[in-house]
Structure 1
Amino acid sequence: MPAWDELKKHQNHLIRKALEGSVFAAPITAPAVTALTDATSELLDLPTGYVDLGFMSDDGAQFSSEIDSSDVTSWGSVEPTRRDITQDVTTLQGFFQETNKMTVALYTNVDAASLVPDATSGELKVDKPDRPASRHYRILTLGVDLADAGEIYVARFLPRASVTDKDDQAFQSGDDPLGWPVTMTAYKDSALGTSESYFFGGPGWKALLADMGFTTTP
């Protein structure tokens, strides 16, 4: 029998963090993100229309999953004998600290294209919609980590997402800035056939493929 030290394979260089990152938003009419890196493992430019929402609170981008299931119970069994997933919903919550065109549009639920300041004074007026529309966006959250061989990118792409909740906004002089905290829910994009895609890449990622148990051929 092997000793525990011989059996285990703990690799601390495979522990990942998102040391920094950004959330990018684009109109639903923008092209979908289909790849994160090029043949040299470097980041690709994002398709036209994607806007960086800017600085966020220390909590970063918070993803949550709500999973519901339907259980079948059977005579004589003390646990379900069948379980079917009936709901698997991804949400993204972020406290966006920068006041810009897209953060204002997301929080107020208005069309970003309609936000046009007065040509003379520069003043912007935004009216709360009487009957809020269900606006959809493409959302890319990109986290960056560092490894010996270079940067590692971990991203989650929501091809069809909408703002389904927003937190309170405070006008104050304390430590917290005026922010635009929203929660976005992912929905299936019928053309892409998914509500969410994960991307992993970068030179640091490529150098660790074997250590993580991946092969580049099936």
Structure 2
Amino acid sequence: MAAWETLKNHQNALIRKTLEGSTFIAPTTSAAITALTGADSSLNALPEGYNDLGWMSDDGAQFSADVDSSDITSWGSVEPTRRDITSDVTTLELTLQETNKHTIGLYTGADMTAVIPDASSGEVAVSKPDRPPLRFWRVLTIGVDIADGGEIYIGRFLPRASVTDKDDQSFQSGDDEALGWPVTMTAYMDSTLGYSERYYFGGPGWEALLGSMGF
């Protein structure tokens, strides 16, 4: 009979935390992310068209999963005898703090390719579309942790996502509030790639822990 101390396998080194990170967007015409790191475990350059959305609130990138299921109950059973997943939707909530071409475009739904600063004053005017089209983006979020072996990168890639909600925007002078562009993006299946979301794990710190993690 094994003692608890010999049976358990608790490893503090495998507890991860995303100390910092960024979210990048690109048109769906840009190449998909196929690998986060190269042969030396360092980060690959992103394909052409990806832009960093910049600083976010300290809530970071908030991923949510909305899962619905359908249950079959049976005579004599006190629990469902069959359960089928009918919906599994990933959303990403961001409170973007930088005001730039990309954050304005995501929040307003405007086509920013047609927006040109005034030649004499530099002023920019953006009209909210009466019926904003459903624009799709490639979205990559990378979180960074530090381990004894070096940096660890955890990425979540949404190959086809759109803005499906946005939160209130406040004009005020509070000490802890920046002018934000809060949006929620929903992931959809990319029919060419065959998935709506893909996780990536890499970096020198990750490689050093592969055996401890059971790989």
Bin of the TM-score, shorter chain as denominator length: over 0.9
TM-score by length of 1: 0.97
Alpha-carbon separation, structure 2, partners of 1:211 and 1:155: 20
TM-score by length of 2: 0.98
Deviations 1:88-131 (A, max 9, x none): 00000010000011000000001231222112111100011011
SS in 1 for 2:41: coil
User: What percentage of aligned pairs have identical amino acids?
Assistant: 70
Aligned length: 214
After TM superposition, give the deviation of residue 193 of structure 1 in Å.
0.3
Which structure 1 segments of 5+ residues have no match? none
Please state if 1:185 is matched with 2:170.
Answer: no
Q: Corresponding residue for 1:205?
A: 206
SS in 2 for 1:170: coil
User: Which runs of 4 or more aligned residues in structure 1 lie more than 6 Å from their structure 2 counterparts after TM superposition?
Assistant: none
Q: Corresponding residue for 2:43?
A: 43
Residue correspondence of structure 1 range 60-75 to structure 2 within 5 A? 60-75=60-75
Equivalent AA in structure 2 for residue 76 of structure 1: G
Which structure 2 segments of 5+ residues have no match? none
Q: Corresponding residue for 1:115?
A: 115
Alpha-carbon separation, structure 2, partners of 1:82 and 1:134: 36
SS in 2 for 1:102: helix
Alpha-carbon separation, structure 1, partners of 2:181 and 2:50: 18
Alpha-carbon separation, structure 1, partners of 2:41 and 2:112: 33
Alpha-carbon separation, structure 2, partners of 1:81 and 1:67: 19
Deviations 1:171-203 (A, max 9, x none): 011120101000000000000000000000000
Alpha-carbon separation, structure 2, partners of 1:172 and 1:71: 48
Alpha-carbon separation, structure 1, partners of 2:197 and 2:148: 29
Q: Corresponding residue for 2:11?
A: 11
Alpha-carbon separation, structure 2, partners of 1:41 and 1:149: 11
